[in-house]
Structure 1
Amino acid sequence: MPSLDARGVIAAVQLSVYVPIAIVTGWLVFRFSLRRDAGWLFLFIFTLCREIDGILVVAGQTANPNVDLFTPAYTLQTAGLAPLMLAPLGFIGLVGRNTFSDTRQVSRTLKFLSVMGLVALVFAIAGALLSSPVAPNHGAAGVVLSRVGACTFAVLYLSIVLLHFVALSYRWHIKESRRRLLTGLFMALPFLGVRTAYAILSAWSSSDLFGRQLSGNATLAAVNPVTGNYVYFLVLSVLCELVVVFIYLISSMPKTWRWR
């Protein structure tokens, strides 16, 4: 049986870590989110993306190795950023419930940014598929769409940061438990920013999904999530995502228990 390489090991560990997280977020979705806000729902979707991603990578490298499994795995690696970035929008809506979130301007902003996240998701998926062996004659279009998607994620992140400061300006009008959640959201911003920056660098690191046509820039080539230095992938992508997820879960728990 073929052994796992560095990325295969990362995928296996990622899979084992996200299983309990998926159970927790799944319970939160079932118990609260569908009638309270969408933050946990997006976290649950994100954990499923990372679990499926891990399963596909491990399966692609072990029993009956199949290169075709890597296309959806690497697509999820890129597209999975969308639900992670949509999660804070749901939590911001929760923080400002009955205060600023109910104003027409903020409500419309939240909806607009949610649509932007979905647009970035579409660009990311389309770009990944068109730059993969699935569409060998559309590589150029795939590169363009991937980079447009990465730029859309960047704009979305900056908008989320601004929205956090809008929420901060109302901090004395919201309950203490929600202020704690807002503090957690701010703590996660740097890590989410690093992950977003990594997505941008990755989009310019190669002209194909599998990292075979690397950039001539050595720094960009090194951050490619497939064939680049796995340390960058581990720290700037996997660990940053985990930190963001844990911060969101821990900071939202006090409010959760108050709902029981």
Structure 2
Amino acid sequence: MTSLDQRGDIAAAEIAFYAIALCFCVLNNIRHGFSRKQGWLLITLFALMRFVGSILVVVIQQTSSDNVSLYIAEVTISSIALTPLISATLIFLIRAFRFYVPESSGSSLHDIAIRVLSLILLASIILSIVAGSQMSNYTDDSKVSSAIMLSHVAVCLLTGVYGVIVIVTGLLIFSPYSAPTTTTPTMLLHAIALSLPFLLVRIIYSLLSAFTLSVATGGYFGSGGSKFNNITGSWQIYLGMGVIMEFAIIIIYVVCGVLLEKFDSSQQRRPSNLESLDTAIELENKD
């Protein structure tokens, strides 16, 4: 059994962190529901993926394993783990959005946009899995080249969804509509806004990691790659732009889930201004 290097030590710290985070994630799922539409299940999935991925890193280092399958699994988990985090952020934003914006304000268009963004995230996951599988054969230049291209597309799709989240969050913060009477959507919106800078740094790291891959260095698994390489790059950059950013995001969402009131699904759609006016007229006539 060999000792851990710096990345192994980071992985050990991640195991401890996500073991604790998973406990709170499960509690949040119990409080708010295990439905994917709630968002908390995706936060739990992200924490679980990071927990398993970190265990794989420790196993690989302590056993000095040359098992390519373990490396493929670790890289694949690392590549797709960011997607559940962005998906959860999108779901939280959708839930807050439905409190701020009246139901009559183009609700069908909103539903179409949600479906499109969901398909984009699904495509990103599929591309990342295929890229990780192809990247394992780092002696085949054509396979590595194809995997690099798929990695580029996958991370660009995630970046696009992140851009939409930023725009919509900004619009809601400066929304012309009155603030919801319940604190739930406001707290969710604040949690999203607080997490966005950390998520931005994490996405930038993913972009740099993907776009500095090269066929000459064998992609993720070859030696002499970029300092932004997830596997062989600088552990300081990996820690600062990757691990710590994810820690911060998880802490924000876990604390939000603990403090958040239980959602009342019957109150998710705010009435339009016209509906509010009709209700006021009816009440006045009754008086």
Q: Same fold (TM over 0.5)?
A: yes
Say if 2:200 is the partner of 1:193. yes
Say if 2:160 is the partner of 1:142. no
- Residue pairs, 1:29-44, within 5 angstroms: 29-34=29-34, 37-44=37-44
SS in 2 for 1:133: coil
Distance in structure 1 (CA, Å) of the matches to 2:67 and 2:4: 14
Aligned to 1:234: 239
Say if 2:221 is the partner of 1:210. yes
Distance 1:170 1:111, change over 3 A: farther
Deviates more, 1:59-68 or 1:201-210: 59-68
Distance in structure 2 (CA, Å) of the matches to 1:250 and 1:153: 25
**Aligned-partner residue type, residue 110 of structure 2:** V
Q: Which runs of 5+ in 1 are unaligned?
A: 215-220
Distance in structure 2 (CA, Å) of the matches to 1:107 and 1:135: 45
Deviates more, 1:85-94 or 1:159-168: 159-168
**Aligned-partner residue type, residue 62 of structure 2:** T
| Pick aligned residue for 2:228 from 223, 245, 252 | 223
Q: CA deviation at 1:80?
A: 0.6
Q: What TM-score does the superposition give when structure 1 sets the normalisation length? A: 0.88
Distance in structure 1 (CA, Å) of the matches to 2:255 and 2:192: 10
Deviations along 1:105-135, whole A, 9 cap, x unmatched? 2233222212211111111111121111389
Q: What TM-score does the superposition give when structure 2 sets the normalisation length? A: 0.80
Bigger-Rg structure (1/2): 2
Q: Which runs of 5+ in 2 are unaligned?
A: 265-287
SS in 2 for 1:226: coil
Q: Is the 8 A contact 1:101 1:107 kept in 2?
A: no
**Aligned-partner residue type, residue 132 of structure 2:** A
Distance 1:237 1:170, change over 3 A: farther
Aligned to 2:158: 153
Say if 2:10 is the partner of 1:5. no
- Residue pairs, 1:102-181, within 5 angstroms: 103-133=107-137, 136=140, 138-168=143-173, 169=175, 172-174=178-180, 175-181=182-188
Alignment root-mean-square deviation, CA: 2.3
Deviations along 1:119-154, whole A, 9 cap, x unmatched? 111111111211113894511111110111111111
Q: Which structure is higher in RCO with an 8 Å CA cutoff and minimum separation 6?
A: 2
**Aligned-partner residue type, residue 179 of structure 1:** T
Say if 2:72 is the partner of 1:71. yes
Number of corresponding residues? 253
Distance in structure 2 (CA, Å) of the matches to 1:101 and 1:245: 30
Q: Is the 8 A contact 2:137 2:143 kept in 1?
A: no
Distance in structure 2 (CA, Å) of the matches to 1:73 and 1:171: 45
Distance 1:173 1:104, change over 3 A: farther
Q: CA deviation at 1:223?
A: 1.6
Q: CA deviation at 1:5?
A: 1.0
Distance in structure 1 (CA, Å) of the matches to 2:43 and 2:228: 25
Q: Is the 8 A contact 1:123 1:149 kept in 2?
A: yes
Distance 1:83 1:237, change over 3 A: same
Aligned to 1:26: 26
Q: Is the 8 A contact 1:8 1:58 kept in 2?
A: yes
Q: CA deviation at 1:165?
A: 2.3
Distance 1:120 1:226, change over 3 A: same
Runs of 4+ deviating beyond 6 Å:
none
Q: CA deviation at 1:166?
A: 3.3
